[in-house]
Amino acid sequence: MFAFVLSNVVGLVRQILISRAFGTGDAYDAFVAASRYPDLIFNLIAGGALASSFIPVFTGFLEKDDRPSAWKLASAVINLVVLVLTAISIVSAVFSLQVIQHLLAPDFNLQKQQLAASLLRILLIAPTVFGVSGIIMGALNAHQKFLLPALASTMLWVGYIIGLLFFVPAMGIYGLAWGAVLGAFLHIGVQLPQLLRLPEWRFNFSLGLDNAAVREVLLLMGPRLLGVAVVQINFLVNTVIASGQPEGSVSSLTYAFQIMTMPEVAIAQAIAVAALPTFSAQVARGELDQMRRSLASTLRGVLLLSLPATLGLILLRYPIIALLFQRGRFDVHSTDMVAWALLWYTAGLVGHSVVEILSRAFYALHDTRTPVIVGTIAMSLNVAFSFAFSALFSSLGWMPHGGLALSNSFATALEMTALFILMRRRLKGLDTMNIGRGLLQSTLATLAMSAGILGWLQFTPWHSVWVIAPVGIIAGGILYTLVMGMFRVPELEEIKAAILRRTRITQ
């Protein structure tokens, strides 16, 4: 979690530099549209789909102390990823303008489309690098090694920052694209030292198509691939719709989504990454009772953190955005557009966080089909919601890109509800009383925190955002912690005990 928080901080620095250099103008709109496609092919071939099927099978070999078979599997998967992603990237680079015109941004004018196509050709260098890096990350996580893999995203943002500081002044938006490519190589580079230290690490150049474990990974990957595809299609649909909305809509959605995902990454993704190997090991040992307790405890912890983050971010969104971005080409209008999108995206923060955990639990059970079916239905509804809510917002005289953000949050809430019900059935119970008690305590503490933040905003309208945002965040966090302490929440007591133990050790 520390590494994910660090990644958020460095990612913020990157986004601040981007906002100062490009604001919500045409150049950054073109970059965002172009970056969707490399993300699409990476996620389809080697992203969440492959990782969620690779880690349970790889962990199974480790639990049996069969490391040679584990590394044969990893080698084959890496080779297949390199072969497929390289081929797709080359073909896509040749037809980059057509990809932009017919898939990503049909409503951009021709000059903007040509710029996006040029950027796309540069960005297509990265997917193969990310593919290999993702498999290495999965292997390290399966060995309970989390720090360097978690730092990989920080190194990605470092590449962006180098591009912004040293490439952009001479190359403009193209410098940002080359910074992204540099970040991809830093993403894999930071993990290699720990990979080389793993026991019995071996690499071979076989594709392993006759390997039963490789076939199992591909079989498990199939349903998950459909789910990832639907999610990526949603991003594409939103980009296409936003490209036909007022200038800056694409950029505003990107800024807002990145801000919303900051607490999600620090809270849910950090916990989920650590939980999947643990869940997988418990399943491999046949310890479903322990997995049930681990899952309930994890869900409770995520709710205790994500609920106050949701209300805090909604209430402080204007001063936070102004503090972070409002300078250079990012003006007051840009702040208004991003804050509007952030309001509706943040409404789905709890849903996104819970889905991260529940989906990992299904993957650990070697069930990629259930979360995919649920996610496919939810994201298909999201496409319909995107058109409907955008039209509704326009008819109300509201900025229409907010409807795109709301559609994502609403669909995710439906997905969370369905996954929770199905997982409780699958495990024949999920200690819902304990989870519900934690949710009630967190709700009451969040309401108290929100009242404190509203009071702060009411009595300090004349202060600088440099005062309003940091003090609001700190005061809200302290107030929430105090109320949770009054409830004697076990998680808070455990943190206190851990700090005391660490203090005694250092003394």
Closest of 417, 190, 435 to residue 300, by C-alpha: 435
Structure tokens at 352: 């996104």
Structure tokens at 359: 């989906």
Query: For residue 294, what are the CA distances in angstroms to 266, 270, 277, 430, 507?
Result: 19, 15, 12, 10, 32
Instruction: Classify residue 473: in a domain, yes or no.
Output: no
Closest of 241, 238, 34 to residue 127, by C-alpha: 34
Alpha helices in 396-431 (DSSP H): 401-426
CB 70 within 8 A of CB 86: no
Q: Rounded to whole angstroms, how far apart are CA atoms 346 and 323?
A: 18
- For the segment 254-264, the average pLDDT, to the nearest whole number, is 88
Which is more confidently placed, 224 or 70?
70
Query: For residue 433, what are the CA distances in angstroms to 12, 421, 430, 437?
Result: 38, 14, 9, 6
Query: How many other C-beta atoms lie within 10 A of the C-beta of residue 218?
Result: 16
Closest of 97, 80, 321, 302 to residue 210, by C-alpha: 80
Structural domain harbouring 195? 26-243
Instruction: Classify residue 365: in a domain, yes or no.
Output: no
- 3-state DSSP assignment of residue 140: helix
Q: Rounded to whole angstroms, how far apart are CA atoms 350 and 309?
A: 9
Structure tokens at 167: 């490439």
Structure tokens at 46: 């080697």
- 64 secondary structure, DSSP code: T
Structure tokens at 300: 């409770």
Instruction: Classify residue 75: in a domain, yes or no.
Output: yes
- How many domains does the chain fold into? 1
Structure tokens at 154: 């920080």
Confidence category of residue 507, pLDDT binned at 50, 70, 90: low
Structure tokens at 74: 């990893």
Q: Rounded to whole angstroms, how far apart are CA atoms 60 and 62?
A: 5
Query: For residue 348, what are the CA distances in angstroms to 67, 141, 482?
Result: 41, 28, 26
CB 390 within 8 A of CB 403: yes
Instruction: Classify residue 98: in a domain, yes or no.
Output: yes
Confidence category of residue 157, pLDDT binned at 50, 70, 90: very high
Closest of 141, 157, 149 to residue 190, by C-alpha: 149
Task: Provide CB contacts within 8 A for 494, sequence distance 6+.
Answer: none
Instruction: Classify residue 11: in a domain, yes or no.
Output: no
Structure tokens at 252: 């505003």
pLDDT in tens, 74-114: 898 889 889 989 999 999 999 999 999 988 888 888 999 99
Q: Give the model's pLDDT for residue 180.
A: 95
Instruction: Classify residue 131: in a domain, yes or no.
Output: yes
- For the segment 180-208, the average pLDDT, to the nearest whole number, is 89
CB 308 within 8 A of CB 445: yes
Instruction: Quote the crossing angle between the two packed helices 67-94 and 212-243, to the nearest 10°.
Output: 30
- 3-state DSSP assignment of residue 201: coil
Q: Rounded to whole angstroms, how far apart are CA atoms 364 and 379?
A: 22
User: First CA to last CA across the chain, in angstroms?
Assistant: 25
Q: Rounded to whole angstroms, how far apart are CA atoms 148 and 195?
A: 10
pLDDT in tens, 43-72: 766 555 566 678 778 888 888 888 888 889
pLDDT in tens, 309-329: 999 999 999 999 998 888 887
Instruction: Classify residue 193: in a domain, yes or no.
Output: yes
pLDDT in tens, 232-244: 777 778 878 887 8
Residue type, position 18, single letter: I
Query: For residue 249, what are the CA distances in angstroms to 229, 328, 336, 401?
Result: 23, 18, 11, 6
Residue 472: burial class (beta carbons within 10 Å; 0-12, 13-18, 19+): buried
Q: Give the model's pLDDT for residue 261.
A: 86
Instruction: Classify residue 153: in a domain, yes or no.
Output: yes
Sign of the C-alpha dihedral, residues 68, 72, 73, 78?
A: positive
Confidence category of residue 503, pLDDT binned at 50, 70, 90: low
